[in-house]
């Protein structure tokens, strides 16, 4: 590794900070998203000690493309890596190959790849353009300090950290008090006889005999009719005779 050349520009971003195994998985996910069937055969997926020079095999229709991933940020990828991948391409009968690095290639590597139309090089700049910013979101930045010079973390996050233990302590004290109260009540009622609720017997109401309504006073008996006297009979006969004569006198003859 001492003969390798340092990169001209050392990057420090999300892509450069991920591990080499995660680097392989990101590239596998990208090629799946763009329509390739991906076989992840690199050590990042298999856990093997060697990947045989191939990390991904891409298939679509009749195309078979071999991908070798180099997560190098400090050193440039030399031309030897290009020759090695070309040899594997011929051995497997693939239709193409891609050599990808998160850093840079040497000028000799670029020249070696230019002599074959079956291999493509993708360096750190091209890789970042290919994946886009969404694949590697920037790391969170520190919040700006408030105007008064205090720390928002200490005023908000620190205050919450102090509040949680206090709430837990208050809950524990309340629980202990409730348990003690329950035990005290249990002890005070343990020897006492059970309370029997007594209710007064319902009063029996005997209905009083119904008072009969008083009878209305009896009407006085009417006296029996009196018998007419002989004088009254003669007087009545006389009046009848006078009435007959009056009728005869006033009635014209027929």
CATH number at residue 56: 3.40.1350.10
Domain-embedded: residue 2: no
Extract the tokens encoding 29.
Answer: 């996910």
Highest mean pLDDT among 129-133, 150-154, 224-228: 129-133
Domain-embedded: residue 195: no
* pLDDT one-digit tens code per residue, 38-48: 999 987 666 55
Domain-embedded: residue 228: no
> What total of structural domains would you count in the chain?
1
Domain-embedded: residue 19: yes
Domain that holds residue 72: 14-134
Interatomic CA distance for residues 75 and 11, integer angstroms: 11
pTM for the predicted model, two decimal places: 0.52
Under 8 Å between Cβ of 105 and 76? yes
Largest Cα span, the chain: 187
Domain-embedded: residue 128: yes
Length of the chain: 254
Q: What is the pLDDT of residue 179?
A: 74
What's the rounded mean pLDDT across residues 100-121?
Answer: 96
Beta strands in 102-244 (DSSP E): 119-122
Q: What is the pLDDT of residue 113?
A: 96
Interatomic CA distance for residues 30 and 152, integer angstroms: 38
Domain-embedded: residue 209: no
Sequence-distant (6+) residues with CB within 8 A of 137 are: 14
Q: What is the pLDDT of residue 122?
A: 97
Q: What is the mean pLDDT of the chain?
A: 78
Of 71, 66, 75, 69, residue with least CA distance to 116: 66
* pLDDT one-digit tens code per residue, 132-157: 866 665 555 554 444 444 444 444 55
Domain-embedded: residue 121: yes
The kind and range of the H/E element at 66 are strand 63-70
């Amino acid at each position: 590794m001492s003969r390798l050349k340092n990169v001209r520009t050392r990057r420090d971003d999300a892509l450069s900070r991920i591990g080499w195994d995660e680097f392989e998985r990101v590239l596998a996910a990208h090629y799946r998203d763009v329509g390739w069937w991906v076989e992840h055969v690199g050590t990042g997926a298999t856990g093997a000690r060697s990947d045989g020079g191939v990390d991904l095999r891409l298939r679509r229709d009749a195309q078979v493309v071999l991908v070798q991933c180099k997560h190098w940020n400090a050193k440039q990828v030399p031309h030897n890596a290009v020759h090695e991948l070309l040899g594997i391409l011929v051995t497997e009968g693939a239709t193409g190959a891609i050599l990808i690095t998160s850093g840079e290639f040497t000028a000799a590597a670029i020249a070696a790849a230019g002599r074959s139309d079956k291999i493509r090089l993708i360096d750190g700049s091209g890789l970042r353009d290919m994946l886009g910013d969404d694949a590697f979101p920037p790391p969170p930045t520190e919040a700006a300090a408030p105007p008064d010079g205090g720390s928002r973390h200490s005023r908000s996050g620190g205050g919450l950290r102090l509040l949680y233990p206090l709430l837990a302590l208050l809950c524990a004290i309340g629980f202990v008090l409730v348990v003690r109260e329950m035990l005290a009540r249990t002890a005070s009622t343990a020897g006492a006889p059970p309370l029997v609720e007594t209710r007064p017997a319902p009063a029996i109401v005997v209905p009083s005999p119904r008072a009969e309504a008083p009878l209305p006073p009896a009407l006085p008996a009417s006296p029996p009719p009196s018998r007419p006297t002989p004088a009254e009979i003669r007087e009545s006969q006389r009046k009848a005779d006078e009435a007959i004569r009056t009728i005869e006198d006033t009635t014209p003859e027929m």
